[in-house]
A and B are shown apart, each in its own frame.
Chain A
């Protein structure tokens, strides 16, 4: 059973870089069957997809965050990471990592499972 666990600092100052890692157990990020990604949820608000990475190294970014985001994978450690530059208070959120499963056709994807999430607060 695949499990994901986020790790990273919980408190950042404005303009700093957010760095999070998702450690995957029970499955390999090198599998061609899945994508891997990050989703965030500001306090009291809904879900927002941030970035996705495929085993081949292909990456996909939410257009609204693309200029500030980098997702990368480390197959030797079976983990993938997120970097978000120049954070502001608007980036305060619970950040989840998740496995993105594929359906029969392109675009038919679902996130399962999810990590437990980690709260990142941006405050001076």
Chain B
């Protein structure tokens, strides 16, 4: 069981907007630690999508956006495209287990 909780799957049609939630606790997201998001295309390594709660690395389109509130965070993908079909993971830091970087269980995005 992952420290950060994500829905196993979400889906949407091309052009639509989908959101993926990431729920933590007072020892990680709620403690003020930043949330990061990664995209993992089928058969590929994860790729950084968002860092520092809402910042874009170079080259990531602004169709991807993220926010954080309290002990939760969310990733929004607007103008859904077929190539967005992938697994998405959130990541943060947990201070309860002595120097511990944590991931969510991942969310499979299906573009209908």
Which residues of chain B have C-beta atoms less than 8 A from A107's C-beta?
Answer: 33-34, 93, 95
Contact indicator A111/B106 (Cβ below 8 Å): no
Contact indicator A47/B89 (Cβ below 8 Å): yes
A74 within 8 Å of B (CB atoms): no
In the bound assembly, the distance between CA atoms of A60 and B46 in angstroms comes to 21
Q: How large is the interface on A (under 10, 10 to 19, 20 to 34, 35 or more residues)?
A: 20 to 34
In the bound assembly, the distance between CA atoms of A113 and B46 in angstroms comes to 9
From residue B10, how far is it (CB to closest CB) to chain A in Å? 16
From residue A89, how far is it (CB to closest CB) to chain B in Å? 20
**Count of chain A to chain B residue pairs whose CB atoms are closer than 8 Å in the complex:** 63
Contact indicator A63/B100 (Cβ below 8 Å): yes
Chain B residue total in the interface (Cβ 8 A)? 27
Contact indicator A110/B104 (Cβ below 8 Å): no
A11 within 8 Å of B (CB atoms): no
**Can you name 13 extra interface pairs (CB under 8 A) apart from A47-B103, A100-B101, A111-B36?**
A46-B104, A46-B105, A46-B106, A49-B103, A52-B101, A62-B100, A96-B46, A103-B51, A107-B34, A110-B51, A112-B48, A112-B57, A113-B47
